[in-house]
A and B are shown apart, each in its own frame.
Chain A
């Protein structure tokens, strides 16, 4: 990112190759539309090139920040079109599918690629271990762009129950991922 701040085009191309599949995949997950996901992915990387200073290194790791940008950009697109994504399949089936679709990062650093794969494996394990109701509430918020109130309405549950599930789910994830990713 330092190189990108210094307008190094080659560095930006490396950054793009390293993260485009992750960005595109997360965007498809939210938008359920490959064309919209392409547009969102393009917008994210172009903004990253034009304003790389938006990521400040002392405010967390780059991948977490990038995931936050992808999620927010994709949900904004979802909300502006007034749609709600229909969930397809169960969270568990997607996690199993993920194990088949992990692809090696292109070229530059095999050690880094192995680390990324290990991180993904740990993260997916942590999500599978969550109780289903907590995972559902978190996924509806993260991928569906729903507020707590909207989740409560969709699930037919009290708002307090939804808030508790989100709180407990995030607590469990935090404990599971602490010092591992």
Chain B
């Protein structure tokens, strides 16, 4: 790694402070997050720095949250402590018991109007009907929430996959055999930066870049390996909304020489042969080779 602020296997206090205050480039911060998950020493450093950084949040002028926000949060969390279903299950036996007592008293004393009793029971019945309807609505809402939970689980699985890819990249960065090649920009009108991380043991290469402008509609970025003048595609990629891009690929079997790498802009879906304008180029002639 060439940049001074990129993390070493054990991060420094300064790096932990920069991470905690949020001043690091997102991809570097992501590497520290991954490393701190597995390294107790660095995690303690990060936690200590986060405690200091949290003072900014704690010192924020307090504004009361709007009252309706609690209902939104509880509803989204699926928390119903006193919902209509609970009321129905509590109320129904009590209503039945109350009606039985009224009828018994009237038959003994003869003082209660039967018409009035029927009217009361009709009112109770209408109330129970409305509550049962609410319970059905709640059941539908629970089904919707269950579906959202499934979506969340799927999103979590995708995040886990991305995290695994991040870990693989970190392992490559930490491996003594890996090498990093800096990508040189063609267009100085952008502030994009990029690196290639090469793991010769696994024959895997990662491309990482930041502040890449999005390609035009119908276009994509494509990475090529220059092997003795022949350009071999390593795949296509698009940056995310922040301009960050990461692409991982295996070096094709049978390639013994790789003199350079180039990133170009091609039509969407990628090109069979390199034809578009170049964005980055890297000299790989000094990387280790297979013997």
Which residues of A pack against B, CB within 8 Å? 9-10, 12-13, 16-17, 20-26, 28-29, 34, 38, 41-42, 45-46, 49-50, 59-61, 63-65, 67-68, 70-72, 75, 79-80, 82, 94-95, 97-98, 101-103, 119-120, 123-124, 126-127, 138-139, 141-143, 145-149, 151, 163, 166-167, 170-171, 173-174, 177, 181
Contacts and interface: CB of A to CB of B under 8 A. Distances in A.
Contacts of A41: 65, 69, 73
B58 A24 contact: no
A71 B22 contact: yes
Interface of B: 5, 14, 17-18, 20-26, 43, 47-66, 69-70, 72-74, 76-77, 79, 81, 152, 241-242
B79 A101 contact: no
A153 to B, nearest CB: 9
B72 A42 contact: yes
Q: Main SS of chain A's interface residues? A: helix
A64 B51 contact: yes
Contact of B69 (A38, A59, A166): A38
13 contacts: A22-B60, A25-B61, A29-B61, A45-B77, A49-B79, A67-B54, A67-B56, A71-B53, A127-B56, A142-B22, A142-B57, A166-B17, A166-B18
A64 B54 contact: yes
Contacts of B18: 148, 163, 166-167
Given A9-B81, A20-B69, A67-B54, A103 B23 contact: no
A46 B56 contact: no
B57 A147 contact: no
Contact of A64 (B5, B24, B50, B60): B50
B191 to A, nearest CB: 9
A101 B62 contact: yes
A170 B24 CA distance: 14
A62 B65 CA distance: 20
Contacts of B60: 22, 25-26, 29, 98
Contacts of B50: 60, 64-65, 67-68
Given A21-B64, A70-B57, A141 B23 contact: yes
A117 B73 CA distance: 26
Contacts of B64: 21, 24, 103
